[in-house]
Chain A
């Protein structure tokens, strides 16, 4: 007896498999990806095969836990470099380990410092990229949005729209608690971002909620405390809005009144930079603001440093989390602290070759000051956008749209910075660069601890 051909059967099987494939792609996979995926992306090359095998077998969380305990021992011994690959591995294995993202971001952003405790800012885009990845993989909770916003707000201290964006996202999550410190930070970020009305509105919303909670549970002390804190914050903001002339500006009668922010105060900024020794700068200068608290940002970087912007960097440029900073490029950022209207700081980059490689030929030294990041008592005069601040030589209204900032740039060569050739320490000239407006001072020494009574209206 002739057997039936198997071809029709196999054709039927193939059709069934084709239908299964379509079902898989259109219905099952999107749902799986949304709910059941742990959102792992790519496979890290540093993961050894036995770990990979265990991870594939479903022991991801356990392996991640063991690796994180190992990372903890590296933290304790100060072996910070060894922690980086572990952070990457743990977050790949178990993307729901929020603490590892948080600690990882903080570690990358804050812990790599030079001998003078300056952070290696070349790492910061990686820290932000890690935060972004954490937010993507844990979008159901507020935590990583809050932590990433904190890095923007506290560490980068520039580009405040990013802090606002992340904290607004955090506020949309149900699990954010009512701690004023968390919610109030968004109101603070609004102010730093020049969104004053939004800040006041948020305080009002928070106050209404806090009053309701206090009314519901008056015996709970924290409810009383929360309400008071928010009320005080709102009061202070309303006073500032009045005294800085914000309401007057909205009403169109700013020019008629006497507000703290007018007339603009001339900060009379000037600076002199001396390359005292190879990779050692002395920066002196004048800043006509008597109250203590001004910090002027100073940046020394390669002239063609990737993603550099005036007075900073596009910190958000990175999308992938690679934990190796650009080892051939130099980016130093520090603050010049002003006392008695002067600053005088030695910046020693000679002891950290890895952080300051100085491989390029040309460098720029930038000075930057934005009232947005100023202390409140100074902002009381300058206002949020710098309306109360001016400078004959260095006022800039272009590099940060909507703000009046102080910005100045000097150029240096590698030979000058390393004291080579004509600039040699043995018989060569000493590189000295001056900004317009610099006023030498006979009393300009490092010993400047005398603080006079602050008074913005004092004669310079």
Chain B
């Protein structure tokens, strides 16, 4: 385990020094800070829009960071040949892979924590210091973190056999598909005339691809009239669901990486 954590710690250090990630993070934080000024664009209750917008900024920024961070992890190590210096030591490939993944997730967590802190700061100022619904608001980025951990696992898995550019679009595509899956199923379940082939394809996609939409839990925060049932149970189930996908993707990634010529 020490080996894994050692690699993870190094990976976090590398990640926070990478300029491209810092630029993405800076843009995200900047948007979060100026978001309250855009409330005038809408006739709807200003805080509803602001909540939706700021959470979306965190989501979008985190997704880009998750993909960009992980897609270079293994290809860069191979290209720079630094992988040889690691693998010639008593380090197994699976340990290297897991260390890299955990490092990526750790760095992602740090960046998301920073954005969440800015979000809380903005709302604390807007609510004039009162806690209000800030604890509920902070739950949403926590669920986004699980979502981004799955996305990082997806990108990491693809990075074992594709180039970074292909990986970017592949992971982005999987993320997009996974994000629209629940709304798509909702539409499909309301459509009584849907063809059996369409339903079959949807069932297959739903089984194979991770469903990122499960972690879109902002609705009750944006629309406070929404009644919430069994929130804790839902969170636990979806976190469990996410962990299974992460484990499955990591095992598949390790198996491929283990057999790859470096």
Contact = CB atoms under 8 A, between A and B. Distances in A.
Q: Do A and B bind each other?
A: yes
Nearest to B63: A57
Contacts of A18: 207
Contacts, number: 151
B252 A10 contact: yes
B207 A56 contact: no
Interface in A15-53: 16-21, 23-25, 27-29, 31-42
B228 A35 contact: yes
Interface string B196-221: 00000001001110110110111110
Interface of B: 38, 41-44, 48-49, 52-53, 55-56, 59-60, 176, 179-180, 182-183, 185-187, 190, 203, 206-208, 210-211, 213-214, 216-220, 222-223, 225-231, 233-234, 237-238, 240-241, 244-245, 247-248, 251-252, 255, 259
Given A6-B255, A141-B225, A61 B53 contact: yes
A61 B48 contact: yes
B53 A28 contact: no
A58 B219 CA distance: 11
B52 A36 contact: no
A106 to B, nearest CB: 15
A167 B247 CA distance: 52
A69 interface: yes
The listed residue with most B CB atoms (<10 A of its CB), out of A21, A66, A97, is: A21
A62 B53 contact: yes
Interface size class of A (residues with CB under 8 A): 35 or more
A16 B248 contact: yes
Given A20-B207, A32-B234, A35-B226, A40 B183 contact: yes
Given A21-B206, A61-B222, A140-B225, A13 B60 contact: no
B206 A41 contact: no
Interface string A120-141: 0000000000000000001011
Interface of A: 3, 6, 9-10, 12-13, 16-21, 23-25, 27-29, 31-42, 56-62, 64-66, 68-69, 72, 94, 96-97, 99, 138, 140-141, 175
11 contacts: A17-B207, A21-B203, A24-B241, A28-B234, A35-B219, A35-B231, A36-B219, A58-B216, A62-B52, A96-B226, A141-B225
Mostly, the A contact residues are: helix
A23 B216 contact: no
Contacts of A37: 182-183, 186, 219
Nearest to A141: B225
B149 to A, nearest CB: 15
A102 to B, nearest CB: 12
Given A28-B241, A36-B219, A68-B44, A140 B226 contact: yes
Contacts of A64: 42, 44
B223 to A, nearest CB: 4
The listed residue with most B CB atoms (<10 A of its CB), out of A17, A56, A66, is: A17
B227 A23 contact: no
Contacts of A3: 259
A64 B238 CA distance: 29
Contacts of A40: 183, 186-187
A72 B190 contact: no
